[in-house]
Structure formats: C-alpha cells, structure tokens
Amino acid sequence: MDKKPFVTLEKLEEIVKDYPTPFHLYDEKGIRENAMKLKQAFAWNKGFKEYFAVKATPNPFILQLLKECGCGTDCSSMTELMMSEACGFSGEEIMFSSNDTPPEEFAYAAKLGAIINLDDFTHIQFLEDTLGYIPETISCRFNPGGVFKISNDIMDNPGDSKYGMTTEQIFEAFKILKAKGAKRFGIHAFLASNTVTNEYYPLLARQLFELAVKLKEETGACVAFINLSGGIGIPYRPDQEPNDILVIGEGVRNAYQDVLVPAGMGDVALCTELGRFMLGPYGCLVTRAIHEKHTYKEYVGVDACAVNLMRPAMYGAYHHVTVMGKEDLPCDHMYDVVGSLCENNDKFAIDRMLPKVDKGDLLVIHDTGAHGFAMGYNYNGKLKSAELLLKEDGSVQMIRRAETPKDYFVTFDFCDILKNY
Ligand SMILES: *Cc1c(COP(=O)(O)O)cnc(C)c1O
C-alpha cells in the first residue's frame, strides 16, 4: 500500500514560512477519528476506557485532545503524573503503570487517587511502607514467562522481560493485598510490542480472562478490571496491512463471552494503555534536505537528526520517507538519509530507494507521532524541535516551541559563564 502523508506540499510550504524545519506535525483529525474508532470497537464493554500511554507523546495539548475523546492517561513517572494532573485528569482517570518505582512517585500517584498497577510482588510491602496503607483499588502486572506465540510465530519474549509478576506471585499478591484491605482488583499484562496482527489482543485477553477466573476462585478477590495495556502496532512499512481495531474489539468480545461471562464475571471492565496505536500514524517529522554527498554511497543530509527521532538509530526501525512534490516520480535513486550527529547510526533510512532528492526538498518522515519526539535527547548539543498541531479546520497551532540554546544551557544557572546566550 502506498503511504501518503496527511499533509500536502502546499500546506507544508505555508507552514514552513512561520515555523522553520525540522518539526513534528500532528494531525488532529486523524487522532480524533482513530480514538472514536477505538471507543466504538469496545463499546460492548460497559466500563471500557483507554488510558493513553503518556510516554508515547508527552504533550499537554495532545493529552487534552485525547481527554476530549474520553481517554485517561497511563503514567510511569513523576512528570507524567504532573502533566496528567495539570491537564485535568484526576482519580481513576489516571493509571500508574510504572516499574522500579521510586517511593515519591507512588506517594504522588496515591495523592492523585490514580490506580496503582504494581509491577512486582515486593512492591506490596514497599507501597505499604511508603503510603502507610494499601489502596482499596489496586492492580497487579502479570508476566507468564516463556515466549508469546501467535500460531507458530514468536511475537515477543516475556520470559526475558523485566516486567510483571510470575503466576505464583500474582496469586500470592492477591491474597496478601486482600488481607491488607484491597477491595477492587485489576490485572495488567503487556506481552508483545508493536504487533501488526488482529490476533494479539484477543489472545492476550483470553489468557488474562482465564487468569482472572482462577484468581477470583482461588483468592476470592473481586476482579473489577482487566488492562490489556499497549502493544497494538501500526504499519510502519508500506507493505504492511494495518490492524483493524473493530476486528480486534470483536475478537476480545468473543474471549470475554467464552471465559468471563460463564464464570459470572460479565461486569469486568476492560481498559487499554495504547500509545503507538493512538498517535503513531498521526504525526510526522518534517525536515529539509540541506546537503547531497557522493562518496562510497549516496547521501542526503537533512536538517533533522536522531535527536528528533531516535527509533531508526536505536532499533534499526523503518520509517517511511516521502519526498514532497515528487510522489509520482520513479524511486530510482538509492540513498542513506542522514542527520548531522557525530554518530554513524544517525541515519533515518539506509539504502532507501527514493526519487532524486535535491537540496531544498521537503521530506516527510512518517509515523513519528508516538515514541518520536518523546525519545529525543540532546547529544552533540542538538536542540529539540517544535511540535505543531494541524487542526481540523486547517490552521496550525504550535503546541511546543523549539528549544533554544538558552534551554540547553539552563541547567548551568548556578554559574555565570553561559548567561548571554
Ligand atoms: C510503553 C507502554 C505502553 C504503550 O505501549 P505502545 O507500544 O505505545 O502501545 C503501555 N503501557 C505500558 C506500561 C508501557 O510501558
């Protein structure tokens, strides 16, 4: 399938008059429509709620937009909790799914009334020591170990991941939490990442539903909600078939009907903590070609670099590139598309077939809406870009300004030498 940017060259040329490249651009219309579709897919479940994984796109304007769509937030750090609070999320609209958690973060989450999702068995005591009590509503993160398979495909390797409790531990945890006063329980698991298949959620759900029935039978705990967490992926590559969230919702419904309803658990609420699926396709990185270099390979040098989008450098991740205005030309040139870091892995694309790129061309790097800007850093003293929102009415709102040298130097505020920048 051809991947088309959600923005036209004409519109981009208008935008770059006000906002210099590089920048991340988000598509309000796409975000809203997708969020509505998710809601529709799970409308059959009375208590359903999506808790947007803040770490994917930690921007208050995005969070507010998602709040309007009925989402809560999933946080895993102090500042994510603070941002959620500042955006008006409160109480059980906030899920705190962290790991290796510092005590002050548990305390802050509890103060906000957030649902705390315990990553480990030992965190029961740690939480009680920190708060002085165990909250009435509490969730535990499950890790079944082994590998997570769909048919014969290994999707991921939970046995190698640091998250969650073993089967034995979660049973013990429920008993202890119940004895310490917990009344409403949740179960959470995240077993595979970026799954581009409609089968992941239904399989995960069935596994968690079966666990929930056993936990209820064995411990007498009231399982109030089951959290399918994140992991629904997006088609980064043009040949990938996108997930169909309506099909996924139906698949989960079947498992629910098969397992929970007969066990008298037809009132269990479902929740999700999607990040990538909610935002990934609805953001792009806009950058300009500023150099061509011809050595042992052909290079296009752009004005963005890995600090703006780390996934290719970090995971070798594929991000589709469109050379704006040249969509209909043949892809008969092979390039490495590179940034300016003094790191040879600072490449947005390697051996990529593109139309001939000329200096000044605008390039759209697709699917940067989640885990894009958010993973940014400041290596080589590079500054983070602006984030812009393309609104439904076609106007553009700056939702984060670009960093300036002053921002980069601000943590030296205890001395005078850099105060003039
Ligand atoms: C990262 C994360 C998510 C979101 O994952 P996506 O792949 O973006 O859907 C959800 N929950 C937890 C606990 C996470 O760490």
119 CA → ligand 1 middle, Å: 14
Catalytic-labelled residue, pool 87, 140, 342, 415: 342
276 lines ligand 1 (CB under 6 A): yes
What pLDDT score does 195 carry?
Answer: 95
The predicted pLDDT at position 1 comes to: 62
Q: Pairing mode, if any, of strands 362-365 and 321-323?
A: antiparallel
121/172 Cα distance (integer angstroms): 8
Closest ligand 1 atom, CA of 276? 8
| 190 Cβ below 6 A of ligand 1 | yes
Domain 281-412 is found in CATH 2.40.37.10: yes
Ligand 1 proximity of 372 Cβ (cutoff 6 Å): no
Which numbered atom of ligand 1 lies nearest the CA of 117? 13
Contact by Cβ (8 Å): 180, 128: yes
Q: Which atom of ligand 1 is nearest to the CA of 99?
A: 13
Q: Is the CB of 311 under 6 A from ligand 1?
A: no
Task: Indicate the top mutation candidate among 156, 161, 187, 190 to test ligand 1's pocket, ranked by most ligand atoms within 8 A of CB.
Answer: 190
231 lines ligand 1 (CB under 6 A): yes
- Compute the half-sphere exposure of residue 42: CA atoms within 13 Å on the CB side of its CA: 27
Residue nearest to atom 9 of ligand 1 (CA): 230
Say whether pTM exceeds 0.85.
yes
**Chain position carrying tokens 């429509």:** 33
Q: What CATH number has the domain spanning 28-279?
A: 3.20.20.10
Whole-number Å distance between alpha carbons of 289 and 358: 7
342 part of the active site: yes
Per-domain residue ranges of the chain: 28-279, 281-412
Reading the chain (421 residues) residue by residue, the pLDDT tens digits are 689 999 999 999 999 999 999 999 999 999 999 999 999 999 999 999 999 999 999 999 999 999 999 999 999 999 999 999 999 999 999 999 999 999 999 999 999 999 999 999 999 999 999 999 999 999 999 999 999 998 888 889 999 999 999 999 999 999 999 999 999 999 999 999 999 999 999 999 999 999 999 999 999 999 999 999 999 999 999 999 999 999 999 999 999 999 999 999 999 999 999 999 999 999 999 999 999 999 999 999 999 999 999 999 999 999 999 999 999 999 999 999 999 999 999 999 999 999 999 999 999 999 999 999 999 999 999 999 999 999 999 999 999 999 999 999 999 999 999 988 8
> Which class for 132: exposed (0-12), middle (13-18), buried (19 or more C-beta within 10 A)?
exposed
Contacts of 333 (CB under 8 A, 6+ apart): 298, 353, 354, 355, 356, 357
CA of 346 to the centre of ligand 1 (A): 25
Q: Using most ligand atoms within 8 A of CB, pick from 34, 38, 50, 55 the residue to mutate for ligand 1.
A: 55
Instruction: Indicate whether residue 143 lines ligand 1 (CB < 6 A).
Output: no
CA pair distance 72, 70, nearest whole angstrom: 7
Distance, in Å, from the CA atom of 118 to the CA atom of 106, rounded to the nearest integer, reads 10
Pocket probe for ligand 1: among 120, 155, 229, 368, the residue whose CB has the most ligand atoms within 8 Å is 229
> Could you tell me the distance, in angstroms and rounded to a whole number, from the CA of residue 229 to the centre of ligand 1?
6
Q: Looking at 24-144, list the stretches that DSSP marks H as alpha helix, in order from N- to C-terminal side.
A: 28-41, 60-68, 78-86, 103-112, 123-131
Ligand 1 atom nearest to CA at 273: 10
Terminal-residue alpha carbon distance, the chain: 47
Minimal-distance CA residue to ligand 1 atom 13: 97
Please work out whether the CB of residue 38 comes within 6 Å of at least one atom of ligand 1. no
Measured in Å, residue 191 CA sits from the centre of ligand 1 at 10
